[in-house]
């Protein structure tokens, strides 16, 4: 990580904190707030401590290394769109018709020699210091506890290297890793991930599964661990393609896994496929806790590190966070690959306050009736796109996908009940809103038509509309109208609900002459004047097959928390909220400089 630090310093993207700061809550809270600032920088904590362990660490902690567009591009080595262009050119290679074309093709293919990892026949810099057997102690690493209700400390930026039973297929992924004790880790392999597929192979064969976890080194390794490549395609190939040079790997000391030579830490071991243990809870990138579930356990056989290592970590929770910048790079780079499945796709965005898989907006060339609905099914059937819950499709004449204000106007002017498709399919295992684990409703909206005939609504003030609504449902505490100048006026309703939202929606039908789209949220913990966080809340909290109500140009969306009232079969998780005592103490010590408005704006 030292080269990464120099690059960050050179571009004024690093803030160094020399105060003693606790690895439990304090470091994560500072990082969580820093990355929400417009001028956010990476943070290096030089004196991490643990009151829980009564310990001071010599290893610094680095957070928010991808905490800005500029930093992300620095570590990619170029702009993400430039990488996408290189991939697109590769996908469009045709047989050469002339000698000069043959030379050009050879030049392109020659560059591909660097995509394959280079195995070094020596110990790596990452293996300079070794702890094995009884000397293994995960508590010697400043592993963070991010949220008050987390099940313990978690490694949050581990590059998890695994391989198939026969060793032919290799995978690099990023999964949270819970520290159970000095030599055991919980492996949060979600059921759709490659590592879970490998685990089932080893389990069937009755063998232990080798795993090595690298932390730090070249930040591009960390980004590659998040790359949504097809099953069987090794993520280190993407590292080589982007870097223009091979990943340099060395063999782990106690298993057969190859890991980066330059990693700061490497944790090696084996997963006994006969053992499972409760993992979690953990405050995740959805902004909610994922609850306790049984997951495999890794027995650590060896920990190695380079001289003067740096511990790399991230913090996940409510947006915007570091995954915003990593996700945007991924979105740009993988656009050409997505186009191979849906050629009429022009572009797409996954807004960070939609928590990526929860919301996508795609621009396409709509050529025939039902074209957008065909796209919906294609998206829901493509790799990690299959986890997308809510997809809006606009035509090529739509505003820029980065201009959310104009784009939302465009969508509102084309939103009608007959162009809404509600389906079902797989969901991200972190999704909490569906009745069933990892399976639930999908929403697709065709906004490519511009000839929609809408019933005219009579727009009245918020105050007048609130009086009319309260006369029907007294439990409603506040309302706020949005987009009243479009063909789909929106009314956001805050409520302390005493009955099912669907029944309230039915009762409020008389007000449909004043509005078209009713969005219900809980009065508690929501600010109806904050559309950024309202979108975050609603797309997290709805299952389209249960929470969207459709009548003739009168639409209801239930974005409230679900529970006994709805006969919700699962436990609804809590938000990831900062510990306000910790926040106040950090402010008093001069480590945070934010006001109450900032805390409120991001639901901190």
Q: Which of 22, 218, 261, 284 is catalytic?
A: 284
According to DSSP H, which parts of 266-355 are helical? 322-333, 335-339
Structure tokens at 87: 């991939």
Structural element, H or E, at residue 240: helix 235-243
3-state helix/strand/coil string of 474-530: CCEEEEEEECCCCCCCEEEEEECCCCCHHHHHHHCHHHHHCCCEEEEEECCCCCCCC
Distance CA 77, CA 208 (A): 38
Cis peptide before 320 (omega within 30 of 0): yes
Is 284 part of the annotated catalytic residue set? yes
Do residues 390 and 415 make contact, with C-beta atoms less than 8 angstroms apart?
Answer: no
Q: Is 416 helix (H, G, I), strand (E, B) or coil?
A: coil
Please tell me the distance from the alpha carbon of residue 506 to that of residue 530, in angstroms, as a whole number: 26
**Cβ contact 232:169 at 8 Å:** yes
Report the run of H or E that residue 197 belongs to, with start and end. helix 194-205
CA atoms of 332 and 353, how far apart (whole Å): 17
Per-residue three-class SS string for 75-135 = HHCCCHHHHHHHHHHHHCCCCCCCHHHHHHHHHHHHHHHHHCCEECCCCCHHHCEEEEHHH
Taking CA 555 as the corner, what is the angle to CA 551 and CA 560, rounded to the nearest 5 degrees? 130
Using DSSP's 3-state secondary structure scheme, residue 162 falls into strand
Half-sphere exposure of 195 (CA within 13 A, CB side): 28
**Residues with active-site annotation:** 284
């Amino acid at each position: 990580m030292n080269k990464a630090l120099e690059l960050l310093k050179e571009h004024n993207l690093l803030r160094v904190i020399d105060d003693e700061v606790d690895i439990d809550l304090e470091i994560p809270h500072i990082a969580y707030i820093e990355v929400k600032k417009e001028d956010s920088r990476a943070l290096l904590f030089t004196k991490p401590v643990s009151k829980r362990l009564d310990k001071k660490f010599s290893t610094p902690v680095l957070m928010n290394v991808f905490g800005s567009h500029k930093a992300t591009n620095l570590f990619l080595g170029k702009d993400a769109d430039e990488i996408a262009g290189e991939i697109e050119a590769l996908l469009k290679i045709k047989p050469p018709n002339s000698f000069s074309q043959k030379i050009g093709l050879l030049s392109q293919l020659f560059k591909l020699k660097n995509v394959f990892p280079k195995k070094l026949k020596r110990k790596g810099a990452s293996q300079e210091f070794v702890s094995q057997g009884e000397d293994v102690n995960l508590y010697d690493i400043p592993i963070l506890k991010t949220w008050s209700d987390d099940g313990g400390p978690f490694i949050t930026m581990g590059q998890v290297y695994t391989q198939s039973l026969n060793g032919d297929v290799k995978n690099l992924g990023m999964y949270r890793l819970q520290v159970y004790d000095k030599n055991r880790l919980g492996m949060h392999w979600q059921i759709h991930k490659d590592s879970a597929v490998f685990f089932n192979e080893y389990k069937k064969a009755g063998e232990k599964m080798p795993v090595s976890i690298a932390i730090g080194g070249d930040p591009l390794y960390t980004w590659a661990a998040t790359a949504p490549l097809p099953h069987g395609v090794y993520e280190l190939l993407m590292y080589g393609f982007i870097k223009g040079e091979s990943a340099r790997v060395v063999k782990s000391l106690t298993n057969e896994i190859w890991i980066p030579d330059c990693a700061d830490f490497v944790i090696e071991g084996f997963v006994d496929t006969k053992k499972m243990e409760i993992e979690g809870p953990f405050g995740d990138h959805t902004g909610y806790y994922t609850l306790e579930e049984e997951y495999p356990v890794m027995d650590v056989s060896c920990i190695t590190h380079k001289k003067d290592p740096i511990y790399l970590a991230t913090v996940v929770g409510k947006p915007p966070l570091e995954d915003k910048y990593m996700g945007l790079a991924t979105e740009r780079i993988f656009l050409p690959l997505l186009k191979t499945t849906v050629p009429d796709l022009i572009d797409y965005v996954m807004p960070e306050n939609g928590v990526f898989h929860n919301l996508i907006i795609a621009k396409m060339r709509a050529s025939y009736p039902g074209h957008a609905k065909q796209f919906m099914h294609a998206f829901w059937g493509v790799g990690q796109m299959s986890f997308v819950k809510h997809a809006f499709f606009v035509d090529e004449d739509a505003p820029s996908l980065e201009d959310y204000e104009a784009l939302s106007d465009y969508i509102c002017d084309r939103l009608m009940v007959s162009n809404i498709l509600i389906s079902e399919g797989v969901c991200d295992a972190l999704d909490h809103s569906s009745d069933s684990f990892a399976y639930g409703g999908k929403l697709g909206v065709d906004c490519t038509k511009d000839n929609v005939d809408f019933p005219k609504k009579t727009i009245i003030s918020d105050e007048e509309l609130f009086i009319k609504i309260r006369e029907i449902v007294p439990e409603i505490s506040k309302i706020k109208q949005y987009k009243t100048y479009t063909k789909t006026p929106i009314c956001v309703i805050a409520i302390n609900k005493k009955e099912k939202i669907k029944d309230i929606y039915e009762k409020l039908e008389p007000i449909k002459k004043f509005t078209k789209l009713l969005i219900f949220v809980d009065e508690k913990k929501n600010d109806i004047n904050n559309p950024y966080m309202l979108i975050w809340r609603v797309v997290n909290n709805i299952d389209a097959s249960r929470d969207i109500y459709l009548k003739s140009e009168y639409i209801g969306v239930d974005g409230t928390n679900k529970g006994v009232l709805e006969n919700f079969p699962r436990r609804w998780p809590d938000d990831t909220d900062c510990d306000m005592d910790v926040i106040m103490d950090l402010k008093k010590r001069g480590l945070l400089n934010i006001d109450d408005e900032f805390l409120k704006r991001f639901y901190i």
